[in-house]
Structure 1
Amino acid sequence: MAQDAPGTAATTQPAAPAGPSTQTQAPTAQVEDQASQTAPAEDNVTGIQDIIVTAQKRSETLQDVPIAVSAFSEQSLRAQGLDGASNLVQSIPNVSFQRRGTRNNFQIRGIGTQLSALSGDDGVGVHQNNVPLTSNRLGEAEFFDVERVEVLRGPQGTLYGRNATGGVVNVITNKPTSEFSGSATVELGNYGSARYFGYINAPITDTLNLRVAGFGLQRDGYVENLLTGGDLDSRNIFSGRITLGFEPSSTVRAYFMYEGFSENDNRSAAARKQLCLKDPGPSSINGVATGATQVAFTAGCQQVGVYGDNVYGTTNQLSTFSGILARQFGIQPRDSLENKFVSRDLRETEVVGRPLFRAVSDLFTFSGEIDIAEGLTISSLTSYNENHDDRLGDATGGYSSVTFPISPLLPNGLATSAQMGVSDRLRYDNGLFNDNKQFSEELRLQSSFDGPFNFNVGGIYLKYKAHSITYVNSTVIDTLARAISARGGTPIYIDPNPFPDFTGHNYFQNNSYFDLESAAVLGELYYELTDTLKVTAGARYTDDNKKLLGARGTLLVPGQGLSFFPEQETSFREVTGRLNVDWSPVLSFTDKTLIYASVSRGYKGGGFNSPLVAEVGLPAEFEPEFVNALEVGTKNTLANGRLILNVTGFYYDYTNYQIARSVNRSSFVQNIDTTVAGVEFEGIAEPIDGLRINANIGYLHTKITEGEVVDTFYRTQGDPTYVYANGTNGGCILNAAGVATALQNPAVTPVLLGDNACKGPATFRTALATRIPAATAATLTAGIYDYGPNVAFFSNGSAEGVLQDLEGNELPNAPKLTISVGAQYGFDLGDSGWNATIRGDYYRQSRSFARYNNAFFDDVRPWSNINASLIFARPDDDWSVLLFVKNLQNKANIVGFEIADENLGAYRTLAVTDPRLLGVAVTKGF
């Protein structure tokens, strides 16, 4: 019989249970056994069977697809323990995944998912059953009861519903069949982990079939909260899917699917380790002591990386939004994290209270196909998707070491907040709250003629609405709101609800309503020049219309509710496409060879920056990005099917590539130019029956060719001409010599402490003139705001920072080298009817940068991982048992980090690999 992948399922065998992330199986992932989807097995045939994919919207074996695509069948997903998107990283070359607090970034060849909720476009498109999901659960959900997962690399706009410049992740679920069947899996592991999933497939009538699948996961967190002794980053997830299949004749097929997802646990950015080398601020500037004004020049944390022995401190809270207000109004003149250090264990942190993470999504899809003539099919794909999530938690950075002093605003030293309770010290809460709705309709006409010419053409309409709220609260802000209201006049409405209703003015919120309406005509034409030479030509016309209604800042403003900026509207209309040539020569030294080359142009829509960004004089919109992509590759089957060797080379030229940074407590997206080039090798060998060896090697070279930015966390760029100053809207730079001169006048001290420096020269001069003669104030102000060339300015006249030329820098989270090697050996256990498969996997990626600035403190060091598993299977009874270990060496690998907003303290928040995980999974099929 055909040689099955050891330990994986053929049509008469049970599927291997879910479990370990025994990664690095691709291109086993690309050529994994899929007996149920390949040609019938013949006796005395050995070799590696090819998986059937629909990457080009038609069924074909993966080795015949002339594009770079990795495909994972259900058997390979389970055998490798690829339970979610983050695991795919270690199974596909040049792919990375980062948890970014409230967002997840899946990157293909250095190109990632959306940077802004006000864009509606992704660099990597996420699809389920070909439905584009602008808002999705790729970072939270796990794969269950899926037919396969396909990951396409490169621009895909001519076939897929949305513009994806980097690639597409398409999760294809199992459809109901006419045979009664089912399966159940129970997995138990350390950290109290319990994972359950299964399905039942049942025919209802001769033409109607039903499939019901479910998934559940409960586990303790991997992070210990030293304040409570409890754990953080736990999981409590449930998901279910119902699919109805209707086939009244051989020419009509229709499917209705509903999928629900629910999560309620303490997954939180606060559960991630925060590191800092405290910045006290300069004790002197140009030889002049700063004295009491030292705190006006602190950046919270110094410019350091995340690997030093000195980074286990805490931010200087006097640099934060609340800290500046606290020192200004005498609520807390000291750093509330004074002399505070954190544990050196990366899986230990301090969080006040229990972080909240609640997520709910509902997806409805209806797909139908009608064969209207011989070789001609019309299809419709309709979807409706709702997503809602609440993310709220402590953002203080540790339990404050200094209590509030007795003061006029806090006569008993206690601050009262409806949202945070009664506290004797500074506390921060922050959160993100989203409601998204999407409707899409796609129509296609596709041919499968016997002749040389075929086509796949259609159109798609998509309507997406998103309501997003960014929330920051602190005990200091609430105290000031109460104090201002007590003075008389129109009071500030103080939200009395423990869970904010977002009508209060006692907290910061960035509130936006975003609408996207998109229509596109797209398709591809296929022509066979000869039996071995084929040409594909594709094109797409996209019409995107976007609207934004953003709220003005209402923090500490009298009254209640929101006040809005004028509605913004923009549109983009673009034509893109691709041309592909593939050749299947007959060679004496291979069983089958495919050589292909393609050139394509991709587009990703522009969008809006927050009105709070435009308020300080930066652009209110960002431009669409374009990529011209060249790809060449070859796929080869050799040694009578026992060896697969695939190689891909690519070059991308990006114009207006979108990058993001923080401005005025909001995300600011701007455009740069960059190139991306690389090579991907994927190989699998089966030298003897039962032994399989696979390897992936990805080389990636990214280079920014044009672009200037201000580094929010290194505004001076080391230029001693300038000194950093903090402010409630973020930082700025001042002339060091001018500040040194001004510091010699005592009248300057209260003006600097009063948060006036970054509000611009006019505000600073006016505040100073109330204390000294106007002429003197003007002279000192002119010296402080004296700037040379190569400086970027806010609209108020203060300097945002020294411009950094990004030319030559690398894109973030884009390691030059990724290597994965795996091996497995399968054998029978005598005449017992049981077989066993032992497997091991090794993954390593090279050094990368956490940010596109490539500063000296942006390094992410190389890291590696080892997984192992042992599978026992008894095909005759549909039983299988899996023992697994993930992260065998129990390393806390730092795979990336973010730097928090200046107004939260600029601390480094780590992304760390999971600890060593042990478990056993049992599957019974019927």
Structure 2
Amino acid sequence: MRNSMRLGLLAGSVLAALPLTLTSATAQTGSGSTASDSTDNLAGEIVVTARKRSERMIDVPETISAFSEASLQKAGITNLDKLGQAVPNVVLNRRGDNEPNVVIRGVGSFGNVQGIGFYIDDVQNFTDQASRLVDLERVEILKGPQGTLYGGSSIGGAVKYVTKKPSSKFEGRASVELGEQSIFNVNGSINVPLSDVFYARISGYADTNDGYLKNNITHINNDKSEEYGVRAAFRFAPSDDTDINLSVRYSNLNNGGNDYYLTPTTKSYKLNSDLNENIYNHRRVFGSILSVDQKIGNMSLISLTSYTERKNNLLWDLDYSGLDGLTGYQPKPVKTKVFTQELRLQSDNSEGLNWLVGGYYARVRDRSLVTTIDAVFGVDFGGPFTIANFHDNTSLEQTYAGFATVSYKAGPFEASLGGRLNHVDFFGVNRLIPDSLHVKDTVVLPKLTLSYKIDPAMMLYFNASEGYEPARFTLFNETPLLPYKPEKAMNFELGAKGQTSGGFLSYEIAGFYIKNKDRQLETLVIDSSGVPNEATGNVGDARTWGAEFSFTLRPTRGLSLNANGGWMNSKFSAGDFDGGRVPYAPRFSGGASVDYSTDLSSDLKLSLRADVSHNSGFFWTSDNSLKQESYDVVGGRLAIGSTDDKWELAVRVDNLFNEKYHTELQPFDEDNLLARRGQPSLVVGSATIRF
């Protein structure tokens, strides 16, 4: 009954809008805001910084998925789970412990191995990659190795958050959301010009969500969460040649952290568990970024400096039962400290020769909270056993790099060559099992790009690039620290992108081939006592090939139809799993959406959206013993607001048909699996004002 009512609401809204659609060309004439909406997703209008310079997305010779603020809002994308559903050949979600799980084109991993870099304003984010998405200019997802410009840990691609900069315009925004699961979210921003050359922008949010995984013993939902954050940005632009930006941010998150349940089968999708502990994961993050952009003639000198500190306290029930088994307890905050510095000199965009040269340094102390946790993840000692301060290891990772690119344009042709010399020094000490280890390596990461513009709005391109995930080590509960080799990937991509005159059709098509050496993945290791442990290691080589597409059709003003999809074949080509499919790599994934906006009067407009995403299923483990079945997630949004965008009321339905799927699934013991179910159906209403 509940799903039927939701389906009826969505279908009724769409049917009611059909007559308006047929007359939209006449009704929307002269509406500036509607015109803006209709061109929001034009490939030629979106500006990205994938190559660390501002360019139209249509001019960048590689596969990029970009989401503007408006498109994020329409799609209801506020976290990683929703972002991953919107992009083909991408598996992306937030783990129970708030770390990201991300795989792009079969490269990357769940757990301690990432392989995908996260960036805030071109600064790598090591501490809170899965935080709330608020006050963003756009989000960019770059596919394929990004090692030349972005370094290690971007072997499969990169996810870039670009925040809004302070400007000379006084403006603000406030929004409140109410929904099922006792959702109550507020967020807002205000931009204030303090003088002709000095501007400030403040944004913040506060979210509460009771979650959906009930605890039958404590009667408190294991995934209940409370999160708030604030960001202050200041901009000093005394001339057209000087632009200085300083931003500071703070976020505070408190949730269950390990909101999983035990199940004997892969087809169990429970909404309850039996944990006899009031689990929590309390994370605080402070971060700051200082950027200086100084023009010197026809060049720009750019400096990016950042410092970030994270603190974590937690209590986890690691036997995942109502028994007095194993509890992990961390009363003293675990601290992670990160400092990065990048300096680069580059030519301004021009015809002919363009170049960029730079240097990079990063220092990360205690990068991974989960390294020690995973050593006992899934352990049930069968009796009361508490590990206090169970994260008791110290690590220090330092990265030094120099990089350069040069490109030359000759008419419709452009050739670009880049390289990065990257050195990583990783040192760790484990106090649970007295041991220390020092791992270091140096690599060269090249990239070649060739492109040809058939006309200003259509490009053919080819690129070849090498990616790299540094060597490190893992902790295993009964042995010393275990090192593993770096992972390398060679990527080849051939594609076409463009749009027809007037933006009637935008398209992007690409084919790719990836050769991985020494894949880094977490695998299940059984110790001498029969206890399962997760250990990161090299599982062999792999080969991946595939294709993907994205088409956006705009038949009338205010109406936008999008379809995207990706197919790939990703298999191990050497090692213990030779011939098997690589985990987290669906054969096919894709989606479709319909966006429609029309003026009801000179002051009022209606906006409708329906979307669906499909995943054909994949394997969770390297031995292909656990499979995620195919699933489809349908959503919709109905909004009414002013034509000048000063206010809006909206309601959104996520997972309309309550599709059941897992966001995590892994072995636990001989009889059980450890599972986390994806978001069930959810209705959220919102009110937004702008000034």
Q: Deviations over 1:402-435 (max 9, x none)?
A: xxxxxxxxxxxxxxxxxxxxxxxx3332367742
1:352 is the counterpart of 2:276? yes
Pick one of 305, 313, 320 that aligns with 1:397.
Answer: 320
Residue equivalent to 1:38: none
Pick one of 107, 110, 130 that aligns with 2:106.
Answer: 110
1:644 is the counterpart of 2:506? yes
Q: Does the CA contact (< 8 Å) of 2:92 and 2:101 recur in 1? A: yes
Q: Does the CA contact (< 8 Å) of 1:543 and 1:573 recur in 2? A: yes
The number of equivalent residue pairs is 650
Q: Could you tell me which amino acid in structure 2 is paired with residue 123 of structure 1?
A: G
Q: Determine the C-alpha separation between the residues in 2 that align with 1:662 and 1:819.
A: 30
Residue equivalent to 2:19: none
Residue equivalent to 1:843: 613
Q: Offset of 1:107 from its aligned partner?
A: 1.1
Residue equivalent to 1:829: 600
Larger fraction in strand: 2
1:123 is the counterpart of 2:115? yes
Runs of 5+ unmatched residues, structure 1: 17-27, 35-46, 277-304, 308-343, 401-425, 480-494, 503-508, 554-563, 709-805
1:524 is the counterpart of 2:405? yes
Q: Could you tell me which amino acid in structure 1 is paired with residue 257 of structure 2?
A: S
Alignment of 1:666-705 (within 5 A): 667-705=535-573
Task: Note closer, same or farther for the CA distance 1:807–1:646 as it changes in structure 2 (3 Å cut).
Answer: same
SS at match of 2:644: helix
SS at match of 1:672: coil
Alignment of 1:357-506 (within 5 A): 357-373=281-297, 375-400=298-323, 426-430=324-328, 434-448=334-348, 450-466=350-366, 468=369, 469-470=372-373, 502=389
Alignment of 1:311-330 (within 5 A): none
Task: Note closer, same or farther for the CA distance 1:11–1:223 as it changes in structure 2 (3 Å cut).
Answer: farther
Residue equivalent to 1:907: 672
Q: Does the CA contact (< 8 Å) of 2:423 and 2:442 recur in 1? A: yes
Q: What percent of counterpart residues are identical?
A: 26
1:85 is the counterpart of 2:69? no
Task: Note closer, same or farther for the CA distance 1:703–1:252 as it changes in structure 2 (3 Å cut).
Answer: same
SS at match of 2:658: coil
Q: Could you tell me which amino acid in structure 1 is paired with residue 106 of structure 2?
A: G
Q: Offset of 1:391 from its aligned partner?
A: 3.2
SS at match of 2:127: coil
1:635 is the counterpart of 2:595? no
Q: Determine the C-alpha separation between the residues in 2 that align with 1:917 and 1:197.
A: 20
Residue equivalent to 1:318: none
Q: Determine the C-alpha separation between the residues in 2 that align with 1:192 and 1:57.
A: 41
1:925 is the counterpart of 2:673? no
Q: Offset of 1:679 from its aligned partner?
A: 0.4
Q: Offset of 1:14 from its aligned partner?
A: 13
Q: Does the CA contact (< 8 Å) of 1:396 and 1:429 recur in 2? A: yes
Pick one of 648, 651, 663 that aligns with 1:880.
Answer: 648
Task: Note closer, same or farther for the CA distance 1:185–1:675 as it changes in structure 2 (3 Å cut).
Answer: same
Alignment of 1:199-598 (within 5 A): 199-265=189-255, 267-269=256-258, 271-276=259-264, 305-307=265-267, 346-373=270-297, 375-400=298-323, 426-430=324-328, 434-448=334-348, 450-466=350-366, 468=369, 469-470=372-373, 502=389, 509=390, 511-528=392-409, 530-553=410-433, 564-565=434-435, 567-586=436-455, 592-598=457-463
Q: Does the CA contact (< 8 Å) of 1:860 and 1:896 recur in 2? A: no
Q: Could you tell me which amino acid in structure 2 is paired with residue 838 of structure 1?
A: L
Q: Offset of 1:571 from its aligned partner?
A: 1.2
Q: Offset of 1:122 from its aligned partner?
A: 4.0
Q: Does the CA contact (< 8 Å) of 2:214 and 2:271 recur in 1? A: yes
Q: Does the CA contact (< 8 Å) of 2:393 and 2:432 recur in 1? A: no
Task: Note closer, same or farther for the CA distance 1:621–1:104 as it changes in structure 2 (3 Å cut).
Answer: same
Q: Determine the C-alpha separation between the residues in 2 that align with 1:152 and 1:838.
A: 29
Q: Offset of 1:217 from its aligned partner?
A: 0.4
Q: Could you tell me which amino acid in structure 1 is paired with residue 190 of structure 2?
A: I
SS at match of 1:158: helix
Q: Determine the C-alpha separation between the residues in 2 that align with 1:228 and 1:647.
A: 51
Q: Determine the C-alpha separation between the residues in 2 that align with 1:924 and 1:510.
A: 45
Q: Deviations over 1:820-872 (max 9, x none)?
A: 011122222134x11101111111110211111112xx111101111011111
Q: Determine the C-alpha separation between the residues in 2 that align with 1:49 and 1:670.
A: 42
Q: Does the CA contact (< 8 Å) of 2:209 and 2:226 recur in 1? A: yes
Residue equivalent to 2:469: 604
Q: Offset of 1:147 from its aligned partner?
A: 0.7
Q: Deviations over 1:174-219 (max 9, x none)?
A: 0100111111001111111011111011111222111000011012
Residue equivalent to 1:138: 129
Larger Rg: 1
Runs of 5+ unmatched residues, structure 2: 1-23, 528-532
Q: Does the CA contact (< 8 Å) of 1:626 and 1:655 recur in 2? A: yes
Pick one of 165, 171, 184 that aligns with 2:174.
Answer: 184
SS at match of 1:175: coil
Task: Note closer, same or farther for the CA distance 1:345–1:814 as it changes in structure 2 (3 Å cut).
Answer: closer
Greater displacement, 634-643 / 240-249: 634-643
Q: Does the CA contact (< 8 Å) of 2:109 and 2:584 recur in 1? A: no
CA RMSD of aligned residues (A): 2.7
Q: Does the CA contact (< 8 Å) of 1:512 and 1:550 recur in 2? A: yes
Task: Note closer, same or farther for the CA distance 1:11–1:372 as it changes in structure 2 (3 Å cut).
Answer: farther
Q: Determine the C-alpha separation between the residues in 1 that align with 2:604 and 2:518.
A: 58
Task: Note closer, same or farther for the CA distance 1:236–1:15 as it changes in structure 2 (3 Å cut).
Answer: farther
Q: Does the CA contact (< 8 Å) of 1:163 and 1:604 recur in 2? A: yes
Residue equivalent to 1:33: 40
Q: Does the CA contact (< 8 Å) of 2:260 and 2:320 recur in 1? A: no
Task: Note closer, same or farther for the CA distance 1:49–1:599 as it changes in structure 2 (3 Å cut).
Answer: closer
1:818 is the counterpart of 2:586? no
Q: Determine the C-alpha separation between the residues in 1 that align with 2:70 and 2:645.
A: 17
Task: Note closer, same or farther for the CA distance 1:257–1:453 as it changes in structure 2 (3 Å cut).
Answer: same
Q: Could you tell me which amino acid in structure 2 is paired with residue 350 of structure 1?
A: D
Q: Determine the C-alpha separation between the residues in 2 that align with 1:861 and 1:639.
A: 41
Q: Determine the C-alpha separation between the residues in 2 that align with 1:263 and 1:812.
A: 30
Task: Note closer, same or farther for the CA distance 1:359–1:697 as it changes in structure 2 (3 Å cut).
Answer: same
Task: Note closer, same or farther for the CA distance 1:272–1:612 as it changes in structure 2 (3 Å cut).
Answer: closer
Q: Determine the C-alpha separation between the residues in 2 that align with 1:923 and 1:453.
A: 46
Residue equivalent to 1:485: none
Q: Does the CA contact (< 8 Å) of 2:345 and 2:358 recur in 1? A: yes
Q: Does the CA contact (< 8 Å) of 2:117 and 2:158 recur in 1? A: yes
Task: Note closer, same or farther for the CA distance 1:434–1:700 as it changes in structure 2 (3 Å cut).
Answer: farther
SS at match of 1:353: coil
Q: Could you tell me which amino acid in structure 2 is paired with residue 924 of structure 1?
A: I
Q: Determine the C-alpha separation between the residues in 1 that align with 2:55 and 2:656.
A: 38
Task: Note closer, same or farther for the CA distance 1:110–1:449 as it changes in structure 2 (3 Å cut).
Answer: closer
Task: Note closer, same or farther for the CA distance 1:501–1:224 as it changes in structure 2 (3 Å cut).
Answer: closer
Alignment of 1:55-66 (within 5 A): 55-66=50-61
Q: Does the CA contact (< 8 Å) of 1:622 and 1:671 recur in 2? A: no
Q: Could you tell me which amino acid in structure 1 is paired with residue 102 of structure 2?
A: F
Alignment of 1:1-80 (within 5 A): 33=40, 50-80=45-75
Q: Determine the C-alpha separation between the residues in 2 that align with 1:476 and 1:893.
A: 30
Q: Determine the C-alpha separation between the residues in 1 that align with 2:612 and 2:188.
A: 29
SS at match of 1:112: strand
Q: Does the CA contact (< 8 Å) of 1:604 and 1:626 recur in 2? A: yes
Q: Determine the C-alpha separation between the residues in 1 that align with 2:283 and 2:630.
A: 33
Q: Determine the C-alpha separation between the residues in 1 that align with 2:140 and 2:93.
A: 19
